Chain A
Amino acid sequence: MNKFILKRIMGLIFLLFGITVVTFIVIHIAPGKPTDLEAQFNPKVSMEARERISHLYGLDKPLAIQYIEWLKRVVRLDFGISFMDSRPVMQKILERIPITLTIELISIVLILLIGIPIGVISAVKEGSFYDKFMTVFVFIGFAAPTFWLSLILMDFIGVRWGLLPISGIKSLEFEKFGFLEKAIDISKHLVLPVLVSAFGGLAGISRYMRSSMLNVLKQDYIRTARAKGLTEKEVLYKHALKNALLPVVTILGLSVPGLIGGSVIFESIFSIPGMGRLFYESVMARDYPVIMGVLVIGAILTLLGNLLADISYAAVDPRIKLE
């Protein structure tokens, strides 16, 4: 057990190190320097001034030295200061993470609550009309572009019918509301983003659940369970479902990067002040410290997601020995 945890931690440290190397290389090897943009739109900036900016950010030193200096700060979670508003990058990211995580968590819960039953029923009724209908639905879910879906929902539900707000997470008069009104206001703002965010993942989970369930139903122990005279209900929901649910834990862990990546799109469409929108804004402004910070934090969140999935998998499946 201890050996397993130690190995896991060593692996994590290696991956964290790799994440910083890749982030650094991506930003520094690509042509185009951060100093270009500060000078680019301003012809008055002389070569001398550019060099001064370079020197200020340490960009005139050899890459390896720059990396080590950057890493030393990153280890302390100090990503420097944003070009845009001179605030610490970490502070900007920390402000934005809760809203993104809230939306992701609600969508994951929604995906599980809807996706698992869809998949299980499809598997149990394999080949039926319901199964075929759901297969088609799943393909539609896979193919519908998130941003298109957001636009259509915004146009109809938001603009035409005026049922739900389409921008931001709170109304203008938010401060005047009481506690309950505030809660209702925020939930109303979150309905569309959460729906859009959950829709894509729904297809994946229900498909996965279906094949996992089909796989389990073919196992010997299911035949045994039927042979010893258990009711179909007991076979399906006590024996099969429990086993079929296990691999879904892994898939959930693997879907974290996709969900975080997708946040860029719906957060910019719905003007939600989350991490995705922060990233989009800093990309548009070429705010390098923020870009690097969000890349590293996004990757760390993914790592945590995977770790959590591994641990819970080991916790629920006694066949997996921690070795």
Chain B
Amino acid sequence: MNKLTVFGLCIVGFFMVIAIFAPIIAPYNPGQIDIKNILTAPSYSHIFGTDSLGRDLFSRMVYGTRISLMVGFIAVGIASLIGIALGAMAGYYGKWVDVIIMRFIDIMLCFPTFFLILAVIALLEPSIINIMIIIGATSWMGMARLMRAEILSLKERDFIYAERAIGASDLRIIARHLIPNAMAPVLVSVTLGIAGAILVESSLSFLGIGVQPPTPSWGNILSEGKAVMGAGWWMMVFPGLAIFITVLGYNLLGEGIREKLLKS
């Protein structure tokens, strides 16, 4: 493995550990308000400083890791389900099924994704679940195209003809043979997709239409940081760094997997 890939893997693992063990790692309750210590700079007792309500920034960011990763994973999970299912159907059945699905993808790709997401959020309450669904429902198109291309080349292979000859159903051929064999390139797009979803979630939360306070997320902490610009650099620097490093980690990992696949 290439050094950059290992580095990416380390970053991804590091933040996973933080998310899983958040209650143990966080030194304070992330919601605990302390009006005597408003906007204090990083120190031994508050290593990342405190926010405008005196809450410990480090603890809020540790819990924010959970939210950001969860949104990333589940949103991409939803996108993969839609993308893989539609892509496999288009590739396997061909003809009008393919035409309808591919035309639909063409239409979806015309919209600036961020516009589409914002439009839906305008209608729904910006809860964490809604955000995951919306991000998932607007980011599956690339995966569907990849899946379709893979299936198109796989379905003419001998083992699929053999499967058909022994009377396997379409569903069995698609679910047991075609999809597992086509997963490799999709995996790259899943990894990169997690990075993308984390970025979108933090942008939404930053704009105030994503994860709502008091639930901490990297994006909404940054938004609070913007409000105190000039008075608390730590509120802007740390959450931004966390988003940046996490996204970097998933991107490096995704590129690493892609290169590995190209070589083999």
Q: A interface vs B, CB < 8 Å? A: 14-15, 18-19, 21-23, 26-27, 30-32, 135-136, 139-140, 142-148, 151-152, 154-155, 159-160, 257-258, 260-262, 264-265, 268-269, 279-280, 282-284, 286, 288, 291, 294-295, 298-299, 302-303
Contact A152 B236 (CB under 8 A): yes
Contact A146 B118 (CB under 8 A): no
Residue of B nearest to A262 (CB): B114
Q: How far is the CA of A269 from the CA of B219 in the complex (A)?
A: 14
Q: How far is the CA of A286 from the CA of B119 in the complex (A)?
A: 9
Q: How far is the CA of A260 from the CA of B240 in the complex (A)?
A: 23
Q: B interface vs A, CB < 8 Å? A: 4, 103-104, 106-116, 118-124, 195, 199, 202-203, 206-207, 209, 222, 225-226, 229-230, 233, 236-237, 240, 243-245, 247-248, 251-252, 255
**Residue among B112, B202, B248 with most chain A CB within 10 A:** B112
Q: Which residues of A contact B112 (CB under 8 A)?
A: 257-258, 260-261, 298-299, 302
Q: Which residues of B contact A279 (CB under 8 A)?
A: 115, 118
Chain B interface SS verdict (over half): helix
Contact A155 B107 (CB under 8 A): no
Question: Nearest Cβ in chain A — how far from B197, in angstroms?
Answer: 13
Q: Which residues of B contact A286 (CB under 8 A)?
A: 122-123
Contact B116 A295 (CB under 8 A): yes
A sample of 10 inter-chain contacts (CB < 8 A) reads: A19-B110, A27-B123, A30-B123, A139-B251, A142-B247, A145-B244, A257-B110, A257-B112, A294-B115, A302-B112
From the candidates A14, A143, A291, name the one contacting B244 in the complex (CB within 8 A): A143
Contact B248 A18 (CB under 8 A): no
Contact B244 A151 (CB under 8 A): no
Question: Nearest Cβ in chain A — how far from B247, in angstroms?
Answer: 4
Q: Which residues of B contact A160 (CB under 8 A)?
A: 230
Contact B118 A298 (CB under 8 A): no
Contact B119 A280 (CB under 8 A): no
Contact A145 B113 (CB under 8 A): no
From the candidates B104, B115, B222, B225, name the one contacting A264 in the complex (CB within 8 A): B115
With A18-B107, A154-B229, A302-B111 as contacts: A26 and B251 at CB distance below 8 Å:
no
Contact A299 B240 (CB under 8 A): no
Q: How far is the CA of A286 from the CA of B120 in the complex (A)?
A: 10
Question: Nearest Cβ in chain A — how far from B137, in angstroms?
Answer: 10
With A22-B108, A155-B236 as contacts: A146 and B203 at CB distance below 8 Å:
yes
Q: How far is the CA of A279 from the CA of B207 in the complex (A)?
A: 12
Contact B124 A31 (CB under 8 A): yes
Residue of B nearest to A160 (CB): B230
Contact A265 B229 (CB under 8 A): no
Q: Which residues of A contact B237 (CB under 8 A)?
A: 152
Contact A145 B202 (CB under 8 A): yes
Q: Which residues of B contact A294 (CB under 8 A)?
A: 115
Contact A139 B252 (CB under 8 A): yes
Q: How far is the CA of A154 from the CA of B195 in the complex (A)?
A: 25
Question: Nearest Cβ in chain A — how far from B234, in angstroms?
Answer: 12
With A143-B195, A159-B230 as contacts: A268 and B207 at CB distance below 8 Å:
yes
Question: 10 tightest CB-CB pairs across the interface, nearest first?
Answer: A261-B114, A261-B112, A18-B107, A148-B240, A143-B248, A30-B123, A143-B247, A257-B112, A299-B110, A283-B122
Contact B119 A145 (CB under 8 A): no
Question: Nearest Cβ in chain B — how far from A268, in angstroms?
Answer: 6
Q: How far is the CA of A230 from the CA of B176 in the complex (A)?
A: 55
Task: Give me 19 other A-B pairs in contact (C-beta within 8 A), A14-B103, A298-B112 excluded.
Answer: A21-B107, A30-B124, A139-B4, A139-B252, A142-B247, A145-B244, A148-B222, A151-B229, A152-B237, A155-B236, A159-B229, A262-B114, A283-B209, A284-B209, A286-B123, A294-B115, A298-B115, A299-B112, A303-B110
Q: Which residues of A contact B251 (CB under 8 A)?
A: 139, 142-143
Contact A144 B121 (CB under 8 A): no
Contact A15 B114 (CB under 8 A): no
**Residue among A31, A142, A144, A291 with most chain B CB within 10 A:** A142
Question: Nearest Cβ in chain B — how far from A96, in angstroms?
Answer: 13
With A18-B103, A261-B113, A298-B112 as contacts: A139 and B248 at CB distance below 8 Å:
yes
Contact B113 A265 (CB under 8 A): no
Q: Which residues of B contact A258 (CB under 8 A)?
A: 112-113
From the candidates B107, B124, B236, name the one contacting A151 in the complex (CB within 8 A): B236
